[in-house]
């Protein structure tokens, strides 16, 4: 296709928050427009009846979308975990570019998938056809990919925050990640746990330690970028009373002799040309406001002991919008890379 082509997108599962966010972003993307939208619960209605938004698209069933695969150039799958596997097979056969926002194809190894998700993977043969769409790390593989697994929101914040250290071999074995996520991360559903009166003015840790599934994506990225280092992630997510945003405060050890300025240089070089990475200068800490409502990830580097600026303990903080850089924005960035458009198109 030429540069000026307008692509068409199908969105499977358009009435969750990631679907909504994709539709919102596509409104301002000059070379992408909506083909069809699916919703199992709201098929037959219009999108503007389901959301407080003016975008008046019809909603169809997924099974009807499958027969209309040829109408679109790309499908974004925003389905619940485990629900993507069947449709992905169909879109693979139809030859359409598929970007899956679920966790179904993120893990290379079906055994690891099954360990964390406690269910047998029903299409293990597809796993190695997928590229893990962490754009800043796997950009080359994403170009021309036809199957992209969009990373999870928590792992994106952790992996982008620690990738330079891990790649350089400077990340200590134990990594303590204290993450705080806005409540849209739980998805759009009726659940007392996520109701306003339960979560507002509250803060709750959950699944802390080594229990959360998203650890698998951290291991898959950070343990492999410099050989198979056995980093061990203690990961404590917390429900934060904001609608959107993830802040990860990460406690890491670096080898003796590695100085603060070496670490800053490493990050600066690694992310030198990245339009969506915002490296903060010494003395500033990443906050949610650096990134919410944008596709950016902000990263700050702080030595634990200011009296020993070249000590071996650091606090890396990273922030992102869980629905944009942690989901739909990154999916669109993957699309732009895969089809050869300007990577930032529609994402500024």
For residue 191, count other CB atoms closer than 10 A to its CB.
10
Give the DSSP H or E segment for 177. strand 174-181
3-state SS string over 91-141? HHHHCCEEEECCCCCCCCCHHHHHHHHCCCCCCHHHHCCCEECCHHHHHHH
Buried b (16+ CB within 10 A) or exposed e, 84-112: bbebbbbbbeeebbbbbbbbbbbbeebeb
Question: Does 52 help bind a copy of itself (rule: CB under 8 A)?
Answer: yes
The reply on whether position 230 binds a copy of itself by CB under 8 A is no
Structure tokens at 119: 């269910």
CB nearer to a copy of itself: give 81 or 211. 211
Tell me: does residue 176 bind a copy of itself (CB under 8 A). yes
Interior angle at CA 192, CA 52 and CA 104, nearest 5: 75
- Please list every residue from 205 through 224 that binds a copy of itself, using CB under 8 A: 205-206, 208-211
* By the rule CB under 8 A, 227 interacts with a copy of itself: no
The continuous run of DSSP H or E covering 162 comes out as helix 153-167
**Given the rule CB under 8 A, which of 85-93, 148-156, 299-307, 332-340 is the region that contacts a copy of itself?**
299-307
Bridge partners of 100? 77, 149
Segment contacting a copy of itself by CB under 8 A, of 73-81, 129-137, 144-152, 310-318: 310-318
Determine phi and psi for 137, rounding to 5 degrees. Answer: -105, -40
Is 296 among the residues that bind a copy of itself (CB under 8 A)? yes
CB of 217 to a copy of itself, least distance (A): 18
Whole-number minimum distance, CB 334 to a copy of itself, in Å?
A: 20
Q: How many degrees, rounded to 5, is the angle at CA 60 between CA 330 and CA 182?
A: 35
Interaction between residue 63 and a copy of itself (CB under 8 A): no
Among 69-77, 158-166, 240-248, 324-332, the segment contacting a copy of itself (CB under 8 A): 240-248
**106 interacts with a copy of itself by CB under 8 A:** no
- Provide the CB-side half-sphere exposure for 227 (13 A, CA): 6
**Residue 143 vs 189, nearer CB to a copy of itself:** 189
3 state SS of 216: helix
Site string for a copy of itself, 265-284 (x = CB under 8 A): -------------x------
Does 330 bind a copy of itself (CB under 8 A)? Our answer is no
Residue 116 near residue 208, CB atoms below 8 Å: no
Please pick, from the candidates 45, 61, 81, 289, the single residue that binds a copy of itself as defined by CB under 8 A: 289
What is the layout of strands, in order, in the sheet containing 7-12?
Answer: 59-60, 32-38, 7-12, 74-77, 97-100, 147-149, 131-132
Site for a copy of itself in 110-149 (CB under 8 A): none
Q: Cβ of residue 299: shortest distance to a copy of itself, in angstroms?
A: 11
78 is catalytic: no
**Count of residues in contact with a copy of itself, rule CB under 8 A:** 69
For 34-52, b/e burial (b = at least 16 CB within 10 A) is bbbbbbeebbeeebeebbe
Question: Can you tell me which of 33, 64, 140, 191 binds a copy of itself, judged by CB under 8 A?
Answer: 191
313 sits near a copy of itself (criterion: CB under 8 A) = yes
For residues 94 and 102, what is the distance between their CA atoms, to the nearest angstrom?
Answer: 20
Choose the stretch contacting a copy of itself; rule: CB under 8 A; options: 31-39, 188-196, 259-267, 331-339.
188-196
Does 178 contact a copy of itself by CB under 8 A? yes
Q: Does 188 contact a copy of itself by CB under 8 A?
A: yes
- Residues making contact with a copy of itself (CB under 8 A): 17, 27-28, 52-54, 176, 178, 180, 182-184, 186, 188-192, 194-206, 208-211, 234, 236, 238, 240-245, 247, 249, 251, 278, 285-290, 292-293, 296, 298, 302-307, 313, 315, 317, 319, 348
Active site amino acids: 153
């Amino acid at each position: 296709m030429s540069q000026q082509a307008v692509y068409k997108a199908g969105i499977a599962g358009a009435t969750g928050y990631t679907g909504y966010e994709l539709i919102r972003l596509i409104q301002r993307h000059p070379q992408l427009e909506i083909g069809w939208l699916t919703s199992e619960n709201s098929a037959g209605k219009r999108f503007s009846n389901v959301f407080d938004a003016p975008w008046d698209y019809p909603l169809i069933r997924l099974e009807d979308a499958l027969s209309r695969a040829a109408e679109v150039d790309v499908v974004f799958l925003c389905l619940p975990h485990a629900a993507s596997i069947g449709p992905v097979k169909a879109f693979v056969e139809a030859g359409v570019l598929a970007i899956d926002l679920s966790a179904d194809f993120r893990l290379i190894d079906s055994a690891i998938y099954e360990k964390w998700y406690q269910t047998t993977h029903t299409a293990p043969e597809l796993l190695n056809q997928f590229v893990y769409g962490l754009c800043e790390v796997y950009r080359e593989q994403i170009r021309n990919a036809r199957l992209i697994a969009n990373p999870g929101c928590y792992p994106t914040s952790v992996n982008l925050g620690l990738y330079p250290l891990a790649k350089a071999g400077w990340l200590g074995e134990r990594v303590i990640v204290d993450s705080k996520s806005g409540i849209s991360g739980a998805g759009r559903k009726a659940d007392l746990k996520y109701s306003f009166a339960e979560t507002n003015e509250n803060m709750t840790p959950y699944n802390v330690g080594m229990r959360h599934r998203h650890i698998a994506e951290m291991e898959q990225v950070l343990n492999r970028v410099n050989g198979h280092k056995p980093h061990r992630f203690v990961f404590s997510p917390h429900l934060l009373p904001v609608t959107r945003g993830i802040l990860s405060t990460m406690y890491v050890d670096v080898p003796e002799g590695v100085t603060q300025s070496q670490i800053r240089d490493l990050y600066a070089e690694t992310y030198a040309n990245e339009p969506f990475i915002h490296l903060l200068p010494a003395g500033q800490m990443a906050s949610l406001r650096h990134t919410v409502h944008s596709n950016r990830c902000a990263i700050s580097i702080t030595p634990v002991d200011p009296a020993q600026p070249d000590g071996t303990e650091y606090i890396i903080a990273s922030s992102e919008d869980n629905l944009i850089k942690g989901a739909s924005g990154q999916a669109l960035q993957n699309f732009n890379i895969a089809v050869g458009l300007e990577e930032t198109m529609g994402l500024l």
